[in-house]
Amino acid sequence: MACNANKAPFLRSIAKRGLASQCPRPLGQAAEVQSTVLNNKLVVATAEASLPITRVSIVLRAGSRNESYENQGAAHLLRIAANLSTKNSTAFAITRNIQQVGGSLSASNDRELVTYTVETTANQIETGLRYLQDLVQPAFKPWELADNVPLLRTQVSSVSPQERAVELLHKAAFHSGLGNSIYIPKHQIGKLSSESLLHYVANTFTPSRCAVVGVGIDQNTLSGFAQNLELASGSGKSNSTSYYGGDARKDTAGNVAHVAVAGQGGSLLNQKEALAFAVLKQAVGSGAATKRGNINGTFGKALQNAVTDASVSYKTINAAYEDAGLFGFLVSTDGQNIGKAVDALTRALKSGSVSSNDVNRGKALLKAAILESYSTDSSLINVIGVQAAHLKQVQSIESLLSAVDGVTQQEVQEAAKKAGSSKLSVAAVGNLANVPYASDLA
């Protein structure tokens, strides 16, 4: 079957003008980003690439927080449907034509966003865009959904206990909205109809909830592509989320326990607070920076002092969403020592004390992470996609680094006190014999 990518008039103009090809920026150099808001409120952002590879993402605020009780799992199915037929193309045609040009088409989802991304060489982006635009018009053919039930069951059963603890943490913290899992509940597998999924798409695939971002493509070219996307009219319904706190537990076989504990964090729309929590995450420590290296920060030191004779792993949780957030930790160890580990880390979380040395180290680590994300194409497409979808703009690397430098020790301590003084959320999976409840940690 011949490629019919050039049947779309606008895409033919891309091929004719060759605007998708730009001179790559030097490897390791942070990218400059351009962003504009179209008349229909859709955001377009682009950056130069460091390699002759073009990446384009359609980012939609259609994540699981938008699900109701009746259509839980819809966002997960949107990710699955990226490999299925659309209103304009069959699954076979999409796969064959993308593979013919050596490209890839992928989808991802989280609590707030559903993202479709195409990657091709710069001279083949015409074909990539042709099939990327098809993904925002899914067909949800009943027989294809039925064929993918085994895949859904496999994905749900493959969720690690650490991931399951984080999912339960959100359930305990927010109940609904942000409390909805990014994975379809087992009782919903095979139950969502094509009509309910199309209704979900109509409410969430709208221009005001969408951003189109690209790396290695011209801004005007991508703006023209974005204007031609066939999205539903209206602004869609936005779900507000309240923080509650509490417990969510799941006993499983074995002698290992995985426990996640968190308090209220910062929201993305409050940049000063979000950056303070981002610095705090680096300041309290997320483990050794090198293999067998020393663990810096209050979390690491507290855990080392509490558990000296057992294998233990932990990471700091800083989940920032549009209007809410969580800050805390996830720890895993054997059932006999989990109580001591959780108690020690909770005391460190509730202390609200962060030294100036920890703050300075946290700022340096955060700036290094920002520089790396703006310098690597695969990370850059994700960073600008999140900013464009939530903030309706993309910050330059200079302004973002300057904002990090402006974070004070007092702001970081206030962030730590907010997380530690709020009602805690506690989620646990595994051997829970010695796992404390939220009321025990108050």
The string of DSSP codes covering 324-365 is: -EEEEEEEEEETTTHHHHHHHHHHHHHH----HHHHHHHHHH
- Backbone Cα Rg of the chain: 23
Which of 189, 240, 215 has the alpha carbon at shortest distance from 122?
215
Mean pLDDT of the chain: 90
Cα four-point dihedral sign 332, 334, 337, 339: positive
pLDDT (tens digit per residue) in 237-264: 777 789 999 999 999 999 999 999 999 9
Residues 238 and 389: their CA atoms lie apart, in Å, by 14
- Spell out, as residue ranges, where the chain has pLDDT lower than 70: 1-28, 235-236, 287-295
pLDDT (tens digit per residue) in 17-45: 444 444 566 666 777 899 999 999 999 99
pLDDT of residue 14: 52
Pairing of strands 313-320, 114-121: unpaired
pLDDT of residue 20: 43
Which of 169, 436, 190 has the alpha carbon at shortest distance from 317?
169
pLDDT of residue 184: 97
Query: Which domains, from first to last, does the chain contain?
Result: 5-227 (3.30.830.10), 246-441 (3.30.830.10)
pLDDT of residue 233: 80
Residues 121 and 133: their CA atoms lie apart, in Å, by 18
CB burial of residue 2 (10 Å; 0-12, 13-18, 19+): exposed
Residues 70 and 158: their CA atoms lie apart, in Å, by 24
pLDDT (tens digit per residue) in 379-431: 999 999 999 999 999 999 999 999 999 999 999 999 999 999 999 999 999 99
DSSP 8-state class, residue 28: T
User: Which residues sit opposite 106 in a β-bridge?
Assistant: 117
pLDDT of residue 1: 40
pLDDT of residue 18: 44
Which of 206, 218, 207 has the alpha carbon at shortest distance from 56?
218
User: Which residues sit opposite 45 in a β-bridge?
Assistant: 35, 213
Inter-residue contact 36 to 149 (CB < 8 Å): no
pLDDT of residue 11: 56
pLDDT of residue 21: 44
